Structure 1
Amino acid sequence: MDKLDLYEMLLRVPPLLFALTVHEYAHAWMAWRCGDPTAKHQGRLTLNPLVHLDLIGAICLLFAPFGWAKPVPVNPYNFRNPRRDDILVSLAGVAANLGTAIVVALLLHALSALGILPASAAGRALWIMAFVLLSISVGLAIFNLIPVPPLDGSHVLANMLPWDKRAAYERAAPVFSVVLLALIVTGAVDVILNPPHAFILHLLGF
């Protein structure tokens, strides 16, 4: 690894931690708002990135447009409306990442329109980190929408299925998880995620 590669990787670390933290905090906050204090009691209702960090998921985000953090503990029996609230909690992280991406995109476009472009090395580094945050946030949102356990999309799909179909889906969950792992290891998941990732970045003007 040359110095440029190492420099670019180091620039990915702060936005990576921010995107993961926002995602998991959103899960914890929404669960708490829906009546489940489990995450709060376990110290997960915090913006401290070290609390949410999953080493393997973070390493994936360093090298690919997807990754994950340590899952937030949720007890659906505490929800006021279990099906609805589980969907809300599952989508909260995705919404937080997409919201982050939109805010960063608007900020970068506004700075460009005002002619405020990075002139120093520090300014260029901040600009790069902002775009990396934008890209990682979009990647996290898309990846987590995949309806395969333990990703957020699996909770959304399970709660939308009739009870008999949901039971069959949950029985097949281990198989789906193995397939997902194989896609990650082989890099095939990149082929699946890159088109929607590029499409959303295009919608945001990048």
Structure 2
Amino acid sequence: MKHIAFKDGSIAPVNNIYCIGRSYAEHISELGNTPTGEPLVFLKPTTALTTDNTLRLPSYSEDIHHEVELVVYINQDVADDQIPDLSCIAGYGIGLDLTARDIQNALKAKGMPWTTAKGFRHAAWLSVLTKGIPTTHQLSLMVNGDIRQDDSTDKLLFDMTYQLNFLHEKFGLRQGDIIYTGTPKGVGRLVSGDTLVAKLDTESYTIHII
């Protein structure tokens, strides 16, 4: 079973990995997509999750993109008849949703699910988590010293409370669920040899691509 780690040294098990797409207006525009009016949800297998600082790109894609995101961890089962609030969040951190864009585009053209484009090993990197409830945070990602993504979570089209309620209505929230809340503009290609610095407010994490 996969686990996540908190800054105080404690660990917790992972259940589902939910990802919210098209959460920032400028990211929707840069990919030429259309706003959905509600969260676009996809899942990643737990085998995609990693906290290592070295990420290996899959051999079957030539166009892996980075997507930096605020990530939250759910610490309790929410009853089916309950409306979830922010108190069900145990902690938060910064994550990378890696996407095989060439594979995704081909699958979308065929009307097929995106799982092979989103669920490969190391496709869900996650930092250690801060205990508490997220507020407004600044996300950034540098690649080889160049800033690619830099934006505030106050630009989320669907705020945290809305995302929690939407996911619970559709699927049910359970202890151990992780939510990747969406990426701002600036996504781009990664290649072997890249060095990334993911930053959440003042905390930074260095990641190497092989």
Instruction: Please report the TM-score for the alignment, with normalisation by the length of structure 1.
Output: 0.25
Between Structure 1 and Structure 2, the one with more strand by share is 2
Is the radius of gyration larger for structure 1 or structure 2? 1
Higher relative contact order (CA 8 A, sep 6+): 2
Instruction: Please report the TM-score for the alignment, with normalisation by the length of structure 2.
Output: 0.24
